[in-house]
């Protein structure tokens, strides 16, 4: 087969562009090994099942959507996997995005999710994000997470264990309402707790807080009379003086 000059340059241009794309993808891989790179042919470099659109990408059936300079998790395809992993970084169309947020109602009423691995980059969990996820059993929040929205984990009837990160600042109204958690440990960074954040948590018996100044609301609701509360040394009087923090027993440590 004999190529004319025009065909030759067209083929050469395609080869060059492919090589440049591969080089660009390799550059991102080498720069950030934690990033999942979406290649020019719509595949994920870590082998995850991938479907890409204009401003979104599915990775192992989890939907990530571009939002400014970051990505927001918007949910998952219905009934596909009980164990979910959220990745921290995605290189998409030549730009690296940090995954910083679980969007409003992203996983609401998911009926098959048992566990979810959250990325270290996660800064916010929006309202209703995991509300009524009936089979979710445990959640571990990374240190980057500062905000938990209203009803974020409300009515998660199997949720028995929650680990809070060290930089958490705000817990929204009814965030863990009606969950079977039995122990809570809050970091010193917590500034606000919404009404009934831990309301109707009938199994909750022990709460440990590191805040030197009690937030205006404990979020315990009527359950406070059943709680043994551990507070920092020298703060017992301050907690006793706040109506919302009057528990069954307050112990300094």
Query: pLDDT confidence of 10, banded at 50, 70, 90?
Result: very low
pLDDT number for residue 4: 58
Helix, coil or strand: residue 249: strand
Query: pLDDT confidence of 8, banded at 50, 70, 90?
Result: very low
Query: pLDDT confidence of 13, banded at 50, 70, 90?
Result: very low
Helix, coil or strand: residue 177: coil
Of 179, 174, 208, give the one whose Cα is nearest residue 193. Answer: 174
**Tokens 């979020």, located at residue:** 219
**Tokens 């030549």, located at residue:** 94
128 within 8 A of 152, measured Cβ to Cβ: yes
HSE of 53, CA atoms in CB hemisphere, 13 A: 8
59 within 8 A of 89, measured Cβ to Cβ: no
Q: Give Cβ neighbours of residue 219 (< 8 Å, ≥ 6 apart).
A: 171, 175, 193, 194, 195, 196, 197, 198, 199, 244
Indicate whether 80 pLDDT > 90.
Answer: no
Structure tokens at 60: 């192992």
Encode pLDDT of 19-68 as tens digits: 444 555 555 555 689 999 999 899 999 999 999 999 999 999 999 999 99
pLDDT number for residue 54: 94
pLDDT number for residue 20: 45
Q: Which domains does the chain have, with CATH numbers?
A: 12-102 (no CATH), 130-253 (3.80.10.10)
Using a 10 angstrom Cβ sphere, with 0-12 exposed, 13-18 middle and 19 or more buried, the burial of residue 96 is middle
**What pTM did the predictor assign?**
0.88
Encode pLDDT of 139-154 as tens digits: 999 999 999 999 999 9
pLDDT number for residue 81: 79
pLDDT number for residue 79: 62
Query: What does the DSSP assignment read for 58-120?
Result: EETTEEEEEETTEEEEEEE-TT--SEEE--SEEEETTEEEEEEEEPTTTTTT-SS--EEE--T
d(C-alpha 148, C-alpha 154), whole Å = 11
Query: pLDDT confidence of 243, banded at 50, 70, 90?
Result: very high
Indicate whether 205 pLDDT > 90.
Answer: yes
d(C-alpha 19, C-alpha 218), whole Å = 58
CA 28-31-32 angle, 5° bins? 85
Helix, coil or strand: residue 21: helix
Helix, coil or strand: residue 48: coil
pLDDT number for residue 93: 93
Q: Looking at 9-23, 118-132, 166-180, 225-239, which range is the least confident one?
A: 9-23
d(C-alpha 228, C-alpha 249), whole Å = 5
């Amino acid at each position: 087969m004999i190529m004319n000059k025009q065909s030759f340059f067209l083929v050469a241009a395609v080869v060059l562009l492919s090589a440049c794309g591969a080089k660009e993808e390799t550059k991102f891989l080498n720069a950030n090994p934690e990033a999942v790179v979406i290649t020019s042919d719509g595949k994920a470099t870590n082998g995850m099942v991938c479907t890409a659109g204009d401003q979104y990408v599915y990775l192992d059936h989890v939907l990530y959507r571009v939002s400014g300079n970051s990505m927001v998790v918007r949910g998952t395809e219905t009934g596909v996997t009980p164990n979910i992993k959220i990745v921290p970084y995605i290189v998409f169309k030549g730009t690296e995005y940090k995954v910083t947020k679980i969007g409003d109602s992203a996983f609401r009423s998911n009926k098959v999710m048992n566990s979810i691995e959250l990325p270290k980059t996660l800064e916010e969990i929006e309202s209703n994000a995991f509300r009524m996820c009936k089979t979710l059993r445990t959640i571990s929040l990374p240190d980057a997470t500062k905000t938990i929205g209203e009803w974020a984990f409300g009515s998660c009837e199997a949720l028995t264990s929650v680990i809070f990160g060290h930089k958490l600042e705000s817990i929204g109204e009814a965030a863990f309402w009606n969950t079977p958690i039995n122990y809570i440990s809050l970091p010193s960074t917590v500034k606000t707790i919404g009404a009934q954040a831990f309301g109707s948590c009938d199994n909750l018996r022990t709460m440990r807080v590191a805040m030197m100044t009690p937030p205006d609301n404990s979020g315990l609701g009527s359950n406070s009379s059943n709680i043994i509360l551990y507070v920092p040394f020298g703060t017992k009087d301050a907690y006793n003086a706040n109506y919302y923090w009057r528990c069954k027993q307050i112990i300094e440590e």
